[in-house]
Amino acid sequence: MRFSNILSRGVRNANGGLSYWRNPIYPVYDENGDYYLTNASDFSHPMAITDLQKNETKSLDVISSVALEWQLFPFLKLTSQLNYKFGKSVSDRYYPKKYTEAGEFSNGQAEIENWEGHNLVSETFANFQKKFDKHDIGAMVGYSYEYYMSRSSGLTGKDFVNEALGNENMGAGNPEKNEIWNGYSDNKLVSGMFRLNYVYDNKYLLTLTARADGSSKFGKNNKWAMFPSGAVSWKAHEESFIKNLNVFDELKFRFSYGISGNQGISPYQTLSRYGTDKYYNDGSWATTIGPGYVSGWTGPGWIYRVWSGIPNPDLKWETTAQADFGIDMAFLNRRLRVSFDYYDKQTSDLLRERNLALSSGYDKMWVNDGKIQNRGFEVTVDADILQTKDWQLSGTLIYSRNRNKVKDLGNTLESGLVTDPMTGMLFEYSGNSLEQYRDYTNILAIGQPVNVFYGYKVDGIVQTLNEGIDAGLSGDYANPGEFKYMNLNGDSEISEADKTIIGDPNPDFTASLALNLSWKKFDVSVFLNGVFGQDVLNTKAFGEPSNSPLRWTPDNPTNKYPSLRDGRQVKISDWWIEDGSFLRVQNLNIGYTFDLPKKSFLSKARIYMNASNLYTFTKFKGYDPEVGLDGVYSGGYPRLRKWTFGLDLTF
């Protein structure tokens, strides 16, 4: 029997809004002793935010686990484990009337948020293991139950008469402007599983598995799904004709095929959802309740609500079928080890939000629709390169390559797919539109990789008004110093019809290298990882300070950077696309192990230095080329470099 219990408390003070781009020569205070502001809308003074704004979260976490094992027979063991996690947090925020945007707009704003979560997981397994002559049989049957519940609530107060106590006195706010909300969510997952392992003569291996999963997130008729898989392998190096070659220390062939499921959606999507809203009527605020709720915001400045709430009782599991072929090899007394895997993965019945017709009164609805294909391979090479009395050198190289493709997005009319006028390509916009472009950056297009960039192509900078007009531009876009967008369809104007695929955020390949070197009592290890061939949309390329002196002027008619102009509405184009390839020295560790007297109370003593995120080789102009799956870089803070010095003592 094993039991563990972990309790942790935390306090976090968040200072969101500290502007790394703020000019460092700005003074902290003005001549009156107040915090220095560049203008009336300067809400990014780091000292003012740190000293006056409150944003504190206190948390409590408890993780408990108990496990029991019964050896019923020499060949049969029963294992049961119960895990429970409890979490609770309270967030206090106060935005003063001055120096903060929310506080100035609301004449002081206070917020209190409470959250509580419970996660219970119970698992029971029976394992059978028996060997008969050349036959080795293992079997497992099991049951799993998981329950998750979260509850939250919040109160916002505004328009404070006195803000001396901040959010410790919410009653000092205007009661007519109080905002109250709360939320509740729970879901259950029940699973039954079976596995059979069979080995004959330590050469031929067979594994069969099956699991049935039931999720409360799906409709009455689709809660349960079966996910089978199977694998076979052959240890060819155990065959006499392979041994006689005196080449392989290991030669193993593997093949597997299986189906897995995904239930990664929020609960209650199969049910009709209700929401509330407030409106001003006859001199007072009124609250209404009815079908539908606001699930998000979109559009320029997030001014458009995304209206959801239509039930889909037919929602079911998203499924992925994957076939894998692999080879494991070892040579030179296992000093050189190579593994190769090729896979073909087909994901169908995608769980995704479909755009709805305007006549429905809703914007989006969760459906099972679409297919995505992933194919690729991975090669791993392990080598003990050097082994002498004083020197040891080993390394691991991993190379992987993946190609994905959108194969289907459902019915063209029902899904609201858009047709590219030049190529006939069917697609839908992905993610949210960016206010910077007032447009979407990514699309899901049939026959194309996932999340490709879609926009205009740029052919330098407009040098004269006539050049801009001849290029099909009009208005401010035709002026000298503006982007020269390309007229791809050959008509007389630049329009949505000139958009095309302008980049791919998916990498060509990824690779990593780990090296371990030791000499006598010294040891060094280094880990490098890289991602190569992906495009990154750098939304901050326009405002980099280093670009300002390079902008277009009549005296500097460059074709690379546009002129400085307030109020310019840029379009999403390939000018923002950069090569996001990088090679990062992720970790470096250097240590020395001391010789200790035989009668020492210590068995080992080692001093070390560890550096993480040591250096990144890249042509990307932003702080960090490692971004999300959509390939959009939105700025932020540079990745931290961390140095650690330590001493390991073993007693």
Q: What is the pLDDT of residue 166?
A: 85
Residue 169 has pLDDT above 90, yes or no: no
Q: 218 and 315 in contact (C-beta within 8 Å)?
A: yes
Residue 139 has pLDDT above 90, yes or no: yes
637 DSSP assignment:
P
Residue 275, pLDDT > 70, answer yes
The dihedral over CA atoms of 568, 572, 573, 577, expressed in degrees to the nearest 10, equals: 110
Question: Measured between alpha carbons, how far is 627 from 633 in angstroms, rounded to an integer?
Answer: 6
The per-residue pLDDT for 17 is 62
Pick from 26-30, 291-295, 297-301 the range whose average pLDDT is largest.
26-30
Residues contacting 417, CB < 8 A, separation 6+: 409, 426, 427, 428
- Residue 414: pLDDT band (50, 70, 90) is confident
pLDDT band at 501 (very low <50, low <70, confident <90, very high): very high
pLDDT band at 506, cuts 50/70/90? very high
Burial label for 33, CB within 10 Å (0-12, 13-18, 19+), is exposed
Q: How confident is the model at residue 73 (pLDDT cuts 50, 70, 90)?
A: very high
Using the CB atoms, write b or e for 575-591: b if 16+ within 10 Å: bbbbbbbbbbbbbbbeb
Structure tokens at 294: 């606001």
Answer whether 49's CB lies under 8 Å from 15's CB: yes
Please, are residues 524 and 589 in contact by the beta-carbon 8 Å criterion?
Answer: yes
- Output DSSP code: residue 434: B
Mean pLDDT value across the chain: 92
Of the ranges 177-186, 203-212, 299-308, which is most confident? 203-212
* Biggest CA-to-CA distance, the chain: 95
Check residue 95 and give its pLDDT: 93
Residue from 306, 311, 322 nearest 262 by CA:
322
Report the alpha-carbon angle 43-45-114, nearest 5. 65
Our measurement of the distance from residue 441's CA atom to the centroid of its chain's CA atoms, rounded to an integer in Å, reads 17
C-beta of residue 488 within 8 angstroms of C-beta of residue 467 = no
